[in-house]
Amino acid sequence: MLRTIGRRLLFLIPTLIGLSILLFAWVRALPGGPAIALLGEKATPDAIERVNELYGFDRPLYEQYFTWIGRLLQGDFGSSIVTSRPVVEEFFRRFPATIELSLFALIFAIGVGMPLGYWAARRHGRWTDHSAVVFSLIGITIPVFFLAFILKYVFAVELGWLPSDGRQNPRIDATHVSGFYVWDGIITGEFDAAGDALMHLVLPGLALGTIPLAIIVRITRASVLEVQNADYVRTGKAKGVTAQTLRTRFILRNAMLPVITTIGLQTGLLISGAVLTETVFAFPGIGSFLARAIFARDFPVLQGFIIFIAIAYALINLAVDVSYSMIDPRVRVQ
């Protein structure tokens, strides 16, 4: 197991090198430039030249790339052009917010998607099965930003049931220890702060988790349908195995592998795809800050944040592969 994990981590190195080259080329291909974004459209040529010289944007591209890589290897991701703070500091200030939102969306997607997919498979061909399929198709086709605006308008503006933006009510005097507001409220005993932070997660979490939920429903349904018609399930029935044992040990356990793969991929997409959701709900995570960095041509932030997200995505996929051995003994033997 440790050898497999070591090999996967080594394979991550060429992947990150290729990503760094593509990322560097993409960021430099954005229209405009950081100097114009920083100084404005009416900036004088002398001012633009001074900014480019200050940040090294006037040097050849290959020289900029190798300078950037050399700093990355030393743990220096540069400083934001807009805020002048280190990129690492900006990332870890906002990373807990995105993780908290992604976890809420993932719990919602798994908690609803897996039971609904299993329920649809057990009633294959009935109206309940067809309803679940239609529901999943609608969930996949609705754009995230459109659903976010609908949820915000209905439940925050019209009904006033839930907050419309931010992570927490600024009037609450909360103690922030780890940056995870719900957890901080629980460990400090400030349950009103934890509840308020949780309420702020509901609307963006529902919007962000709808597409993963629909995908999990479809994958769970298809996987359970395939497994429950397998020969070993029929053999278990013939030998008198109880229905509960068939469902848990024969069907669900063997149907989980493709579902876990889907959950792992969707977890990475939640972290990297929270840009629109966080922007609509003014949620102060890495997604909304990344969106602002794109408009501001903040090259160090764009490069650093995307590298961090790629590493997180790769580690999540590694965790999914390791979890296979806990579910399927055949993977452990191999």
What are the tens digits of pLDDT across the range 280-327? Answer: 888 888 888 888 888 777 778 888 888 888 888 778 777 777 776 666
Least confident segment among 110-119, 235-244, 322-331: 322-331
Residue 218 has pLDDT above 60, yes or no: yes
Closest by CA position to 320, among listed 330, 331, 308: 331
Lowest mean pLDDT among 30-34, 260-264, 317-321: 30-34
pLDDT-based confidence at residue 333 (cuts at 50, 70, 90): very low
**Could you tell me if 15 and 3 are in contact, meaning their C-beta atoms sit under 8 angstroms apart?**
no
Q: Which residues pair with 79 in a beta bridge?
A: 86
3-state secondary structure of 132: helix
Say how many domains are in the chain: 1
Q: How far is the C-alpha of 124 from the C-alpha of 163, rounded, in Å?
A: 39
Does the residue 148 lie in any domain?
Answer: yes
Mean pLDDT value across residues 166-193: 84
pLDDT at 139 over 80: no
Higher-scoring residue by pLDDT: 277, 125: 277
Task: Note whether residue 245 is domain-resident.
Answer: yes
Per-residue pLDDT tens for 199-216?
A: 989 999 888 888 888 888
Query: What are the phi and psi torsion angles at 79 (to 5°)?
Result: -125, 150
**CA nearest 206: which of 97, 102, 288, 283?**
102
For residue 220, how many other CB atoms are within 10 A of its CB? 29
**Residue 309 contacts by C-beta under 8 Å, 6 or more apart in sequence?**
271, 272, 286
In this structure, is residue 84 part of a structural domain?
A: no
- Domain range for 199 is 94-280
CATH of the domain at 189: 1.10.3720.10
Q: Which of 307, 302, 115, 98 is nearest to 208 (CA)?
A: 98
315 within domain boundaries:
no
Q: Where are the alpha helices (DSSP H) in the chain?
A: 2-28, 34-39, 45-55, 61-73, 87-122, 127-141, 144-151, 181-187, 191-228, 231-238, 243-245, 253-272, 275-280, 286-295, 299-327, 329-333
Alpha-carbon distance 177 to 129, whole Å?
A: 46
CA distance 104 to 285: 14
- Residue bearing the bigger pLDDT, 204 or 125: 204
Has residue 233 been placed in a domain? yes
Residue 131 lies in a domain: yes
Distance CA 318, CA 189 (A): 35
Which of 5-9, 83-87, 107-111, 296-300 is least confident?
5-9
Sequence-separated contacts (24+) of 305-311 with Cβ below 8 Å = 305/87, 305/91, 306/19, 306/23, 307/16, 307/19, 307/20, 307/23, 307/72, 307/77, 308/91, 308/95, 309/271, 309/272, 310/15, 310/16, 310/19, 311/12, 311/16
The whole-model pTM stands at 0.79
**Any domain includes 262:** yes
Asked if the structure places residue 162 within a domain, the reply is yes
- Mean pLDDT for the chain? 80
